[in-house]
Amino acid sequence: MNTTVFPAFRTTDVDRTIALLEALGFTEHLLIRNPEDSSVVEHAEFSHLRGGVMFGSARGDASELDRQVGSSSCYIVVDNDDEVDASFTRAVDAGATVVDKPNDKPYGGRGAAVRDHDGNVWSIGSYAGA
């Protein structure tokens, strides 16, 4: 992975997060589980086209990342309008809730958004920026 900016967050349910990321087209790059409790992820990196995210399990350690579980958002650029619809459908099938159904945007491209089990919003779009 050759990315220099990684949205980072913590999650209360790593397996649900991984299922959603895979539904959105992310692939596992690195996954380090706690050797004493495999439900806890110490650090993970998942890649998507030219970007990626880093995450780990919520730890109850009063860190800033733990304090803000569920308050993140991320915009995922996909290759075309059809992939917006397909990614949205896969995300909802993986348990995400609908924030914004797929629709054409006035600034170009197509977009949609879902919310994960922690409350994070994942926007999907074919608009790659100006």
The CA distances from residue 77 to 22, 32, 43, 103, 106, in Å, are 15, 26, 24, 15, 16
What is the pLDDT at residue 49? 84
One pLDDT digit (tens) per residue for the chain, 130 residues? 445 678 899 999 999 999 999 999 999 999 999 999 999 999 999 999 878 999 999 988 888 777 888 889 999 999 999 999 999 999 999 999 999 999 999 999 999 999 999 999 999 999 988 8
The token pair that represents 40 in the structure block: 């806890």
What radius of gyration, in Å, describes the C-alpha atoms of the chain? 15
Nearest Cα to Cα of residue 8 among 79, 80, 63 = 63
Q: Specify the pTM.
A: 0.89
